[in-house]
Amino acid sequence: MASALDIQGVRKCFGKGEKAVEVLKQIDIAVAPGEFLILVGPSGCGKSTLLNIIAGLEEPTDGAIRIGARNVVGVPPAQRDIAMVFQSYALYPTMSVADNIGFALEMRKVPKAERQRRIGEVAAMLQIEHLLDRRPSQLSGGQRQRVAMGRALARQPQLFLFDEPLSNLDAKLRVEMRAEIKRLHQASGITSVYVTHDQIEAMTLGSRIAVMKGGVLQQLGTPDEIYNRPANTYVATFIGSPTMNLIEGEAVAAAGRGFCVAGADLPLACPGAPRAKALMGVRPEHITLADGAPWRGEVSVVEPTGADTYVVVKTAAGDVTVRTAPQLRVAPGERVGLEVQPLHLNWFDPATGQRLG
């Protein structure tokens, strides 16, 4: 049965006295049994340090880590009943695939017949039965990553930890392995924590996402909450590609309720601005090009991607990115109108960046 993970008030400082650097600042996250939690953020935000603390490779300065009902702070990694999948695969080069998968079971003195059964089950699940006699040097990057995951699965741990496991793979293989990891989690039901700097991985894999910056937890929520109701402008611009448009302005009493775009002296039909001055956040897919719209600008960049075309429009309020249909034909230098969808707006404090309303 999957175990819960509870991260309670975790702080981590490196160094002592005046030279101490606090890299984690009061992190509180409760992970339900069977949940897939993503830790996402830029390099240096503290996500890998937090994963290492969960694994027992680092000890927290303050706080507790509970796996199930047990506080594992001070407990050696080997006694935490966890399995970790690394970015570098960390396979034993002189062992066969079968021996790599079964090594942890052998160290735990699992009977040979049981070891062989688990190796066979895991190999079938990962579709690597034909590779069991090969060495890691004879495998592709994707095959090595499958073996690394197989070694973790064979142990049947309470907790899976993934440390950027797809970073060394090419783009096509990353997409395939993302789907594989999600399928394996659904099949095993084991509580998992996954570290990545890739917000696409975060959105597609996680049942919940913890967005981090500078050792501080910025927001914890489902992919839908993170994407559609970001807690601040950092989350709004970190999650989503292209990023959310942020438009500065102020609420005006024009034709009822509206919003005046900064520098444009143009009220938009955007109800709900909670303050006189605010940042309006709107995703590229929630802006449309409309000939008759009063908010206008000049097309500066057109980026076809196949399924969509991204159009960057230079306006009095700054550059605005619009996601359009691929068949829509616009050219740089063309004047266009912009229309926002008021039901999908987000509002932020321009001074603090925090979500309003």
- Please, where in the chain does CATH 2.40.50.140 lie? 245-348
26-42 pLDDT per residue, tens:
999 999 999 999 999 99
Helices 97-107 and 141-155: crossing angle, nearest 10°? 20
Lowest mean pLDDT among 94-98, 150-154, 215-219: 150-154
User: Which tokens hold the place of 305?
Assistant: 């991607």
Lowest mean pLDDT among 99-113, 148-162, 253-267, 286-300: 253-267
Over range 197-214, report the average pLDDT. Answer: 94
Residue 273, pLDDT score? 66
Residue 272, pLDDT score? 64
**Whether 217 contacts 29, CB under 8 Å:** yes
CA distance 41 to 36: 16
With H, G, I as helix, E, B as strand and everything else as coil, classify residue 30: strand
Residue 271, pLDDT score? 61
The closest alpha carbon to 295, from 249, 338, 342, belongs to 338
98-133 pLDDT per residue, tens:
999 998 888 888 899 999 999 998 888 888 899 999
Q: Residue for token digits 């229309």?
A: 339
CA distance 158 to 67: 8
pLDDT exceeds cutoff 80 at 1: no
Q: How confident is the model at residue 156 (pLDDT cuts 50, 70, 90)?
A: confident
Residue 85, pLDDT score? 85
**Domain at 5-238, CATH homologous superfamily:** P-loop containing nucleotide triphosphate hydrolases (3.40.50.300)
Residue 33 preceded by cis peptide, ω within 30:
no
Residue 260, pLDDT score? 74
- Please, where in the chain does CATH 3.40.50.300 lie? 5-238
Fold of 245-348: OB fold (Dihydrolipoamide Acetyltransferase, E2P) (2.40.50)
Average pLDDT, the chain: 89
**Whether 271 contacts 338, CB under 8 Å:** no
User: Which tokens hold the place of 233?
Assistant: 């402008």
Over range 255-278, report the average pLDDT. Answer: 67
Global pTM?
A: 0.88
